[in-house]
Amino acid sequence: MKQLEILQKEEQQLQSKEESIANEEKQVRRIKESYEQHLHEARHFLDNLCYLFHKNEQGTFYQSLMDEYSQESRKILEHLEIDETELHDQKKRVLDQLEDIDYEKRKLLVEEDTNEC
């Protein structure tokens, strides 16, 4: 019975950890979606500026600005995607551990039932 209590305690800790990771995952997803929306709005704004730069023969300045903006935006999105992937992997590992504990608990309960008979 002592082993079962240990497994239940470990299971509770893992469930708490899984919940925490799931919340972080949602937060990263919300940040990513918000960033993508801001990225779209900023690109629209910069596209509107394009006309003014070309009109004033400042096309090279605009192009360098757009290149830098695109590069930095890609970096940020890549970092968010990496964070999202790492959280997903952590969550999967925790869920696998929970499955292992569930298996061990069932095994202990079956052993107890056979010992009582």
Instruction: Give per-residue pLDDT as tens, 3-43.
Output: 889 999 999 999 999 999 999 999 999 999 999 999 889 88
Instruction: Give per-residue pLDDT as tens, 52-96.
Output: 766 666 667 777 878 888 899 999 999 999 999 999 999 999 999
Q: Does residue 2 belong to any structural domain of this protein?
A: no
pLDDT of 58 reads 64
Burial of 46 (0-12, 13-18, 19+ CB in 10 A): middle
**Which residue range is the domain that position 106 belongs to?**
28-116
Instruction: Give per-residue pLDDT as tens, 47-64.
Output: 887 777 666 666 677 778
Q: Does residue 7 belong to any structural domain of this protein?
A: no
Q: Does residue 70 belong to any structural domain of this protein?
A: yes
Q: Does residue 108 belong to any structural domain of this protein?
A: yes
Instruction: Give per-residue pLDDT as tens, 102-116.
Output: 999 999 888 888 887
How many separate domains does the chain show? 1
Are 101 and 7 in contact, with CB atoms under 8 Å apart? yes
The CA distance from 3 to 8, in Å, is 9
Q: What is the pTM of this model?
A: 0.77
Q: Does residue 90 belong to any structural domain of this protein?
A: yes
Q: Does residue 21 belong to any structural domain of this protein?
A: no
